Each structure stands twice: as structure tokens, then as C-alpha cells.
Structure 1
Amino acid sequence: MWAYESVFYQIYPLGFCGAPFENDGVLTHRITKVASWIPHIKEIGANAIYFSPIFESDTHGYNTRDYKQLDVRLGDNSDFKELCSQLHSNGIKVVIDGVFNHVGRGFPPFMDVIKNRENSPYFHWFNIDLNGNSNYNDGLWYEGWEGNYDLVKLNLYNNDVVEYLLDAVTFWIKEFDIDGIRLDVAYCLDFDFLRRLRKHVDSLKDDFFLVGEMLHGDYNQRMNPEMLNSATNYECYKGLYSSFNSMNMFEINHSLLRQFGPENWTLYKGKHLLSFVDNHDVTRVASILSNENHLPLIYALLFGMPGIPCIYYGSECGERADKNQGDPALRPSFDKPVFNELSAYIAKLSHIKKSQQALNYGDFTSVVLTNRQCIFKRSCNGENIYVAINADENSFSCSFNSEKDTFTDLISGNNIAVKPDFEMKGYTAYILK
């Protein structure tokens, strides 16, 4: 599948385009801004964009009003159709957010329920109790996602709801020629719904990519041949930054061995999780790392480990923001892209990742592991690549069994001797082939 050989770039459109938080109803063609970033996206090596919510919503995009209309704050459907065409002509795939667990209070079927109560034809589209009340004093209770009443939970056991959502997906594929869907809070979605969705998209477009937002537990429950192609790797997200901040490379290696290693209890061998160091919901990696020298190294680890790397817009140049500052701080609008030393480093990693089968499909074997250093091997069809990280400021020397005495470091282009000893300079990463 194309996604397994790709580098993703995540954009949160409402923030990226500088749209107001509240839906003001004013048609403004802001989404066209993305087209001006296409050269930058290509320069850093990304060949797929994951768009956070783009459809008409009450506020932040996850409270949908209309599944078939681009949010008026971003433009109209013709704007997004043209953008998708431009992206495709530049070799960039398009994945959009599918928010199927809940809708906004401005969703017309829900508004009909509030008005007509049990007489509404949409009454069973939601989980309603006429004997209760909501935080909005509606005179009835309804289930909100995790107690958030601005996020009205859909009843995915209702066939009319499922048919409605599948029809929207058909519209997205036919109208915009999208290449995949990222499923919001996929860990909440009904198994039967996911099976129907997978069959539906497979019938409409070859190699259609379904990736689910998963936080914890066994991702195999929803990531399998009948449901999702991939899932967000939150386990390794935490392990990546924590391993550097605590100078304990055992943490991330434990997760990678648990997920992809050679043991019988390995969970996801042969699968491709969406991997990231930050996104629209968490503190930017440049703000969460306690040592700025680790910033390029964490990206080298991200691109070297199993999975599909995803870069959050702005983080490729070291943009900072803390979750404690609120969501707007995490989802800003930049006047123009910045390409600096970190961006160039990530661009090099992107090229390496996309061009090496061992990095796209290889297994995972831990070779050398200390608190501050790690070397692991990725192998595929007889091709071996070694990824080496030295998180310490001092040089580190070690020996390990390898099939050759000298390798090429794909990052620097230098020939590196690994026998009798391999010397890693301080704060350095190597991808050895």
C-alpha cells in the first residue's frame, strides 16, 4: 500500500488558515493557502497530507454540522476539489478526518430532535433519554462524547446512521478523490461499523487507507484485514520523548520490541502504525524535550523505527507550543513556511525512509542498548539497515556483530567503520547501510 512507503504531513486547517474559532457563517476562501505550501511540503519530503477536520462544524471541526460541505470559514467545495487536484498533480496523497463517533449541536438531525423530541424521524440517531436533561437545558438527556455535550454521540447501531455516513464517504471519494480517512476516536467506534466502512471504501477505490486514532490497549482489535489498515502509535509517541528526557533508551526499545520484535508476544509484526512526535492535541516536541540537542535525534528515531512517520505542520522548523497554553497555541497560523537546518535534516530523513525497503517493511531487532545509546537493525529481503542513536553529549564506542566492516551512513553520506569498534559522536544519529 502507498501509505506504508510515505511520509505524512498533518495540517489542522482551521488553525493553519487562521479561521475564527466560532463559525461566523461568512464564506472565506482560506483553504487555498495550503496550495502555497505545496513546494515546502515537497521540499521536506512529505508525499501525503492528513487534514484534520475540514467539514462544516460549530467550532473546532470535531462538532460536525454538514458532512458534505467544506467549512464555510475555509471556503466552498470547489476550493477543496481544486486543492486536492493540485496536491495529486504534485504527487501528494490526501487523507481527511472522518469524525463518525459524534456530531455538533448544529447538526440538522439533532436540531430536529431537540425541536420535535420523540416525534423526530431522527430520534433514534442518538442516545436520548426524555426523562433527563442536558447541560444545555434541552429538556432531554443525550449522550455526549466523554461527557462533552457539544459533541453529540451518534448511534452507530442504527442502520440509517451508518448508511448516512457511508453515503458521505462515497461523496468524498467521488467528489474530491481522497485517498484515505483518519478516523477520530476510533477506539470508540463499533466493530461492525468499521467492518462495513472497510468493505465500502475497498469497493470504491483501490488502496484506500483507513487509519484510526487509538490511544491504548491492543490496536489489533480494530487494526486488521477487516477493519483499519493502521492506527496512531500513541504508545511510542510517549516512549520517544520520554526516552530522551529521562535518558532511558530502554523505554522506547521495550515498546518497539513489544510491538515489532522477534518474540512470540510481538503485537504488530508486519503492520504499519502512524508514528509521530507531536500533533494537534499534544505539546510540540521542541517544547517537551528538555535538551534541544535531542530534537534532530528524535526525528531520526521516528524515521528509523517501524511505522509511517507523520510531521505536524510547523514542527519541522522547531516551532514551540505547550498544551497548557490551550489548543489555539497548538494550532496556529503561520504567514509562510520556514525551511531551516532542522527542516533540511528532516527532508534528508524523508528521502531515506521512502527509498529504503528495510525502513518501509523491515522487521525490528535491538542490537545495542544502554541508557543513552541504542542501535537497532531493520531487515527486509536480505537487506539490513542499522539505526544508531547517541543521546549523550560524549562520544560512545561499542562493538556489535555485523555482516560487514564498513557501512555508508545515509544521513551524512560518509563511510563508517564499525569494526573493531563503532564510534558514535555525541548527539548524533546514523542510518547505516
Structure 2
Amino acid sequence: MSAGEWIQHAIWWQVYPLGFVGAHPADPPPTADEHRLLRITEWFDHAIELGASGVALGPVFASRTHGYDTTDHYRIDPRLGDGSDFDTLIAEARSRGLRVLLDGVFNHVGVDFPHTSWLRKRGRGSADDFDTFEGHGELRALDHDKPEVVEYTVDVMKHWLERGADGWRLDAAYAVADRFWAQVLPRVREAFPHAWFVGEVIHGDYAACVGDSSFDSVTQYELWKAIWSSLNDGNFHELDWALLRHNEFLESFAPLTFVGNHDVTRIASRVDDIRHLGHALVLLMTVGGVPSVYAGDEAGYRGVKEERFGGDDAVRPEFGSPPMDIDGHASDVFRLHQYLIGLRRRHPWLHAARTLPLALTNRQYIYQSRAGSETLVVALNIDDKPLRVALPELGLGGGHVVGGSGAPPQEAVSETDVEPHGWLVIAPTPQP
């Protein structure tokens, strides 16, 4: 099965391994004989229960601190374990039908990276005056014009795909010239045509980046920002604009969509009104793309990213042994994730769905997700008054509610109300 086929059904559960198993920050750090990487496999059944089809791992390769200062791309970080632990993780994932995505840091390396001749120099400075990634002195930039760096990246990626990985997230891809990836990825695909490659791109021309680099996908930060910002500001016009852009991206690729990851404030902390947490998740699971859920978000975990040393720690906590402590509000959030992920998996056409606005005000939004003859109508209300949904007035004959806040499924409906600060998903009746 090619990547283009299996990725249409993919829903990732994202894990930041070093934080997840308590390996960073840790004093003293764990040693390889603790085999902490295997703690992640204990959570695979949780990922299955959630409805995920794959596990997207953060850095697992040897590094000095947070994993993004890699020192040896061929070696599992000794704080996590060793190569046999990785093989066990792959086997456990395979036994459950889970895909595994790795995080490749090929823009920069740690100060202990042995191949100093592969590093990019600053102008005409001294021999050890290396360029850095965004001013971080401990992150030295690779010189991507060097053939050795191309060869090394190709070989590393092929090595771990051969060991059982299904694809790569390419960290800080936005900082690397597209021509570098265009040299690397076709060679890797030649050996592993099933693999999927997603670049971390924060801003810019996503479609051009995909075309020039040969990525399969990029991270959809535009939509991430528009989701929480429109909910907080009461401005669905911003969201509508982002979805128009999202439609354009879907013409050439399926973006990696998310409302939380290891680099941003958790969505439960980001939304100003916790009643709108469900709206964010509804959006994630009913628009086109490849959805990803950051571990802990499915239980409403909170955490604020801060711009300081150690400012990521709050969003990268240690997880104990399963099961997750889910009760009260956390239980509601988990069940909502299960329901909406189930809805997504029952409607795999949503992977390529485009959205069409049917009704739009600052605080009320009705849109249609469509792919071919398949369609769903989503109504979002963040206002203090109900939202009236009259399907005939929207050009639809009728339908039935398949889910919503405070609204059990209904056999048939032509008009209905969305409660204040609520949402509905409606399956329209096919038109003759």
C-alpha cells in the first residue's frame, strides 16, 4: 500500500518521548538499561481505544538535552533505551495495526555532532564559528549544500524506514532550502514508496513548498491559529478565510492538521472559554487533511508554553503507566474525541473534503464539508443565543443530526436549533 493510500485513513496520536517517559528534564537522567522507550508501548492500547491509527513520535535519537540537538541519528537516545527497544516498539505497533512516524532533525545538530566539517560557517569567521538555528548556540546548522549532508540524510532516513518506521516528520523544514529536500526525498521514496513525509512549515507558501521540496504534506499552522483565535475573538470570519486557504492547499496536498502539539500551548489552555474546546475538535475532525491529536489533549490536559529556558516543559509532561486518569470533565473530553475520531473514520472521504460556508456571522458559522457526493453540515455557535439551522434555506432538503452538544442523534430533521455555545453535525439527505 502506497503512502497515498494509507494516509487517507491516518489519525495520529502524537507523543514527545523524552518528556512522556520522564527522561527530560531529569536529574540524574535515566540510563539505557531502564528501557524507558518501552513505556510508550504500554500506551498503544490507549491509542487504539481513542481511535488513532498511528503514533507520531518526537525525537528518539541520541541528543544532549531535548532531542532536537541530535548527536547521532543512528543511535537511540540512551535515556530512552537502545535499538532493541525501538524494534520492540515497532513490533508492538505492528501487532495493533498502528503506523509509526519518526521525527527527523536534519536542519541542525547538537554541539557534540562529530562531523564538524558538515556545519555551516558564519561568513569568514574562525574555523569554529558555526552558524546556528535561530540564534540557539547549542544548535549548529548543517550546510545543506554539502553532498555529504545529502548522503547522510538519505541514509539515516532509509535506515529507520528499513527498521520499520512508516514516515518522517522533518523538523524545522522551513529553515532548509527546498532544493535540499528535493535531492533527498526522491531517493528515499525510490527505496520506500510507502513512506510519508511531512515538513514542519510554520508560515509561507505551503503549496509552493510542497511542490518544490517534494514533501507529501506540511504542518497546517495557519488553520491551527485561526481555530483558537476565531473562537477567542468571536470572529468566525478569520476562520472562514483560513478554510478558504485550506481548500486551496487541498488541491495539491493534504496538510497535517492539529489543535495541539509539543511546541504550542495546549488547546484546553489556549481557548478562553472551555465551552469552546469541543468546537476546536469538531473543526479538526470535519475538515480535510491528516489529523493529529497530541497526547493528553484527549483528556483536556492543560499547559502553557512560555518563551524562556524550560518553557516547553509544561506542555511536555511525564505520563505514568496507563490507564489515563479520566473522570469528570476529562471523561467528557475523552468521549468527545472518541466520537469525533469515530465519525472521521466512518467518513474517510473527509481526508480530501473541501468546505463551503453556508451561513456566517462573527459568532455563528455553518459550513458544509464535501467530497464528491459525500457531505456533512457543521454548525458552530459561540454566541449566547441559539443558532437556527433551517436546511431548506441552506439549499438542502433535510437530514439527520449525527452528533452535537446537548443534541442526541435524530432520525430526520429539516430545522433545528444549536444551543448557545454548542455545535451540531448533520448528515444531509441525498438530493435526487
- After superposition, where does 1:72-83 map in structure 2 within 5 Å? 72-83=78-89
Letter in 2 for 1:181: W
CA shift, 1:224, in A, is 2.9
Count of residue pairs the alignment pairs up: 408
Residue 78 and residue 395 in structure 1: after superposition, are their counterparts in 2 closer, same or farther (change >3 A)?
same
Q: Which of 139, 156, 163 is the matching residue for 1:151?
A: 139
- After superposition, where does 1:175-190 map in structure 2 within 5 Å? 175=163, 177-190=164-177
Letter in 2 for 1:423: D
Partners in 1 of 2:139 and 2:168 — Cα distance?
A: 20
Letter in 1 for 2:374: E
Partners in 1 of 2:212 and 2:355 — Cα distance?
A: 22
CA shift, 1:428, in A, is 2.1
Letter in 2 for 1:49: V
Partners in 2 of 1:30 and 1:272 — Cα distance?
A: 34
The answer to whether the aligner puts 1:6 opposite 2:1 as a matched pair is no
- After superposition, where does 1:218-297 map in structure 2 within 5 Å? 218-224=205-211, 227-260=214-247, 266-269=248-251, 271-297=253-279
CA shift, 1:140, in A, is 2.9
CA shift, 1:5, in A, is 2.0
- The SS at the match of 1:108 is coil
- The SS at the match of 1:142 is coil
Could you say which residue in structure 2 is the equivalent of 1:21?
25
Partners in 2 of 1:224 and 1:405 — Cα distance?
A: 41
Letter in 2 for 1:428: G
Letter in 1 for 2:315: L
Conservation of the 8 A alpha-carbon contact between 1:358 and 1:385: no
Could you say which residue in structure 2 is the equivalent of 1:360?
351
- The SS at the match of 1:215 is coil
The answer to whether the aligner puts 1:103 opposite 2:98 as a matched pair is no
Structure 1 length-normalised TM: 0.89
Could you say which residue in structure 2 is the equivalent of 1:427?
421
Letter in 1 for 2:8: Y
Residue 245 and residue 301 in structure 1: after superposition, are their counterparts in 2 closer, same or farther (change >3 A)?
same
CA shift, 1:191, in A, is 1.9
Letter in 2 for 1:152: R
Partners in 2 of 1:391 and 1:346 — Cα distance?
A: 19
Residue 152 and residue 256 in structure 1: after superposition, are their counterparts in 2 closer, same or farther (change >3 A)?
same
Residue 41 and residue 232 in structure 1: after superposition, are their counterparts in 2 closer, same or farther (change >3 A)?
same
CA shift, 1:26, in A, is 2.7
The answer to whether the aligner puts 1:32 opposite 2:38 as a matched pair is yes
Letter in 2 for 1:309: P
Could you say which residue in structure 1 is the equivalent of 2:430?
none
Could you say which residue in structure 2 is the equivalent of 1:415?
410
Partners in 2 of 1:245 and 1:429 — Cα distance?
A: 16
Residue 154 and residue 12 in structure 1: after superposition, are their counterparts in 2 closer, same or farther (change >3 A)?
same
The answer to whether the aligner puts 1:404 opposite 2:397 as a matched pair is yes
- The SS at the match of 1:20 is coil
Residue 415 and residue 75 in structure 1: after superposition, are their counterparts in 2 closer, same or farther (change >3 A)?
same
Could you say which residue in structure 2 is the equivalent of 1:347?
338
Letter in 2 for 1:427: H
Could you say which residue in structure 2 is the equivalent of 1:299?
281
- The SS at the match of 2:424 is strand
Could you say which residue in structure 2 is the equivalent of 1:118?
none
Q: Which of 115, 120, 127 is the matching residue for 1:127?
A: 120
Residue 12 and residue 298 in structure 1: after superposition, are their counterparts in 2 closer, same or farther (change >3 A)?
same
1:278-335 Cα deviation digits (max 9, x unpaired): 1111111111111111111210111112222111111110111111271111111022
CA shift, 1:410, in A, is 4.5
- The SS at the match of 1:65 is strand
Partners in 1 of 2:106 and 2:260 — Cα distance?
A: 23
Q: Which of 166, 174, 196 is the matching residue for 1:209?
A: 196
Could you say which residue in structure 2 is the equivalent of 1:326?
311
Residue 140 and residue 225 in structure 1: after superposition, are their counterparts in 2 closer, same or farther (change >3 A)?
closer
Partners in 2 of 1:246 and 1:320 — Cα distance?
A: 20
Partners in 2 of 1:342 and 1:334 — Cα distance?
A: 18
Residue 168 and residue 25 in structure 1: after superposition, are their counterparts in 2 closer, same or farther (change >3 A)?
farther
1:235-277 Cα deviation digits (max 9, x unpaired): 11111101111111111111101230xxxxx344352111111
Conservation of the 8 A alpha-carbon contact between 1:386 and 1:432: yes
CA shift, 1:200, in A, is 2.1
Partners in 1 of 2:125 and 2:213 — Cα distance?
A: 38
Residue 103 and residue 300 in structure 1: after superposition, are their counterparts in 2 closer, same or farther (change >3 A)?
same
CA shift, 1:130, in A, is 9.1
Partners in 1 of 2:359 and 2:230 — Cα distance?
A: 15
Conservation of the 8 A alpha-carbon contact between 1:56 and 1:65: yes
1:101-127 Cα deviation digits (max 9, x unpaired): 0110111223xxxxxxxxxxxx2x112
Conservation of the 8 A alpha-carbon contact between 1:57 and 1:64: yes
- The SS at the match of 1:364 is strand
Conservation of the 8 A alpha-carbon contact between 1:130 and 1:140: no
CA shift, 1:79, in A, is 0.3
- The SS at the match of 1:281 is coil
Structure 2 stretches of 5 or more lacking a match?
A: 428-432
Q: Which of 363, 387, 390 is the matching residue for 2:381?
A: 390
> Alpha carbon RMSD of aligned pairs, Å?
2.0
Partners in 2 of 1:21 and 1:345 — Cα distance?
A: 32
CA shift, 1:197, in A, is 2.4
Partners in 2 of 1:389 and 1:247 — Cα distance?
A: 11
1:10-66 Cα deviation digits (max 9, x unpaired): 100000000033795832310111111111111111111111111000111011011
Could you say which residue in structure 2 is the equivalent of 1:164?
152
- The SS at the match of 1:272 is coil
164-173 or 10-19, which deviates more: 164-173
